[in-house]
């Protein structure tokens, strides 16, 4: 009998442009070659997408009185945004340092004077787990309203075993208490804590010995900040190799403020992503572009140079031309980017990194999913994928980077459920 639950639970019809973000080369991150369907529909059953096509091909027999029907009325429909790099869990803010920055102090000077990341560490260590969870949930609600349906969340403001484990736990809890998917990453190696001042290698050994074994099954990724005033390339390599041996996937913050070779080192180890890359050389970018299976993604964060008053932005256009796929993220954190507006980051990637609108849209969806190793579940509108879908208030995708700083989201669907 055809009566048992074959019908659609949600149907989004009359999509003027359905940006599928599907259709590139199999098993490779995308650039521009994704498919747009005009006058299209997307149908879901439960949490999954079960049909995608032109309105003329819609199988009306799958629509019952139980089907929730959303009429997009000719608007743009696209996958939920994937935010693949944030420092979601922290306490306090750094508005006072914003003043110092406006008066000309640099990010690394503020850090060297005991402020910066270390000032957020003090506030975070002093906060209760309930307060941290409360802040994280508020930020996730804001992200959801921007149409962000997955958020990666790094630890890194504890810098001791107890607090770092608490931050990962808070990220996990936050993921369970609201609809946005949260992907925890361990960034205990953010900077050297006061307790290990002048002994970076000892601190990393402590993390490997005391903390990484406690994280198995709780965080899939291990990340490190490779920079002057943080960790050297040699120390970073040793740490990442040890993390990899314990089964973690790798990420790195590198070439943010100087070209030290951290991205190339991490890519050689098979890192899933290399993040920031503002000072990455084109020679290294070309080398990273030849990754084949297990291709490393460059995660570009254009709101960070803006907020740090830095001239140099990652040359995303040239990265893509050299075969290095890029994702775009905010880097949401209290120091270098207090913004959750991934749409603004997308626009800035076009304006300052020379991405095309199509490349930038891939950067906040399917390529960001690749940067989280979730490309088979999220990031595109394809049969079998999770039904994370946005209806936007625009009728042509070129308007997405154009309305600078606005939120184009009209409706958000997560796992087949329309959000309020």
Query: Does 122 carry a binding-site annotation?
Result: no
**Which member of 86, 120, 124, 380 binds ligand NIG (CB under 6 A)?**
120
Q: Under 8 Å CB-to-CB from 56, ≥6 apart: which residues?
A: 39
- Between 87 and 135, whose beta carbon lies closer to ligand NIG? 87
Q: What is the CA radius of gyration of the chain?
A: 21
Give the count of beta carbons closer than 10 Å to the beta carbon of residue 329. Answer: 30
365 binds ligand NIG (CB under 6 A): no
**Residue located via tokens 């803010």:** 93
**3-class DSSP state for residue 409?**
strand
Closest CB 89 distance from Fe ion, rounded Å:
13
**Which member of 253, 352, 358, 385 binds ligand NIG (CB under 6 A)?**
253
**Interacting positions 163-222 with ligand NIG (CB under 6 A):** none
340 binds ligand NIG (CB under 6 A): no
State the chain's maximal CA–CA distance in angstroms.
Answer: 73
**3-class DSSP state for residue 49?**
strand
- Between 30 and 151, whose beta carbon lies closer to ligand NIG? 151
Q: Under 8 Å CB-to-CB from 29, ≥6 apart: which residues?
A: 295, 297, 325, 362, 366, 367, 370, 375
Closest CA to 239 of 280, 194, 187, 290: 187
Q: For 212-331, where are the alpha helices, taking DSSP H only?
A: 233-245, 262-268, 282-288, 303-307, 316-321
Query: Does 333 carry a binding-site annotation?
Result: yes
Binding mask 345-384 for Fe ion (x = CB under 5 A): ----------------------------------------
Distance CA 328, CA 343 (A): 10
- Between 49 and 189, whose beta carbon lies closer to ligand NIG? 189
**Which member of 331, 359, 375, 388 binds Fe ion (CB under 5 A)?**
331
336 contact, one of Fe ion, ligand NIG, none, CB 5-8 Å limit per kind: ligand NIG
Distance CA 232, CA 216 (A): 25
Query: Does 94 carry a binding-site annotation?
Result: yes
- Binding residues for N-formimidoyl-L-glutamate, by number, are 157, 333, 335
Give residues in contact with ligand NIG (CB under 6 A). Answer: 87, 116-117, 120, 225, 253, 256, 304, 331, 333-336
Give residues in contact with Fe ion (CB under 5 A). Answer: 331
- Binding residues, by number, are 85, 87, 94, 157, 190, 253, 256, 331, 333, 335-336
């Amino acid at each position: 009998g055809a009566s048992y639950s074959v019908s659609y639970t949600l149907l989004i019809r009359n999509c003027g442009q359905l940006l599928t973000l599907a259709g590139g080369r199999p098993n490779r991150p995308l650039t521009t070659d994704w498919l747009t369907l005009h006058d299209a529909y997307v149908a879901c059953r439960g949490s999954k997408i079960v049909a995608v096509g032109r309105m003329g091909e819609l199988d009306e027999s799958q629509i019952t009185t139980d089907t929730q029907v959303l009429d997009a009325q000719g608007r743009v429909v696209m996958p939920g945004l994937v935010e693949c790099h944030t420092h979601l869990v922290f306490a306090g803010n750094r508005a006072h340092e914003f003043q110092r920055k406006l008066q000309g102090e640099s990010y690394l000077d503020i850090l060297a004077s005991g402020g910066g990341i270390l000032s957020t560490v003090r506030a975070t260590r002093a906060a209760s787990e309930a307060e941290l969870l409360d802040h994280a949930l508020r930020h996730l609600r804001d992200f959801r309203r921007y149409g962000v349906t997955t958020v990666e969340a790094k630890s890194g403001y504890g810098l001791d075993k107890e607090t770092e484990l608490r931050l990962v736990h808070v990220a996990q809890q936050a993921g369970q208490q609201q609809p946005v998917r949260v992907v925890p990453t361990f960034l205990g190696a953010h900077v050297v804590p006061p307790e290990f001042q002048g002994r970076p290698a000892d601190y990393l050994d402590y993390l490997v010995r005391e903390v990484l074994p406690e994280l198995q099954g709780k965080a899939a990724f291990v990340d490190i900040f490779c920079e002057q005033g943080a960790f050297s390339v040699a120390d970073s390599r040793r740490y990442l190799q040890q993390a990899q041996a314990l089964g973690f996937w790798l990420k790195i913050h590198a070439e943010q403020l100087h070209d030290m070779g951290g991205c190339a080192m991490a890519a050689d180890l098979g890192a899933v992503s290399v993040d920031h890359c503002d000072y990455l050389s084109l020679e290294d970018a070309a080398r990273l572009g030849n990754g084949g299976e297990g291709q490393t993604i460059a995660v570009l964060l254009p709101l960070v140079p803006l907020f740090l008053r830095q001239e140099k932005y990652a040359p995303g256009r040239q990265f893509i031309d050299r075969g290095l796929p890029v994702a775009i993220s905010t880097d949401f954190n209290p120091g270098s980017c207090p913004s959750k507006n991934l749409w603004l980051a997308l626009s800035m990637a076009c304006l300052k990194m020379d991405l095309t609108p199509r490349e930038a849209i891939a950067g906040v969806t399917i390529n960001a999913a690749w940067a989280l190793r979730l490309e088979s579940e999220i990031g595109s509108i394809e049969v079998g994928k999770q039904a994370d879908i946005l209806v936007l208030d625009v009728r042509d995708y070129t308007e997405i980077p154009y309305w600078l700083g606005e939120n184009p989201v009209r409706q958000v669907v997560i796992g087949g459920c329309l959000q309020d």
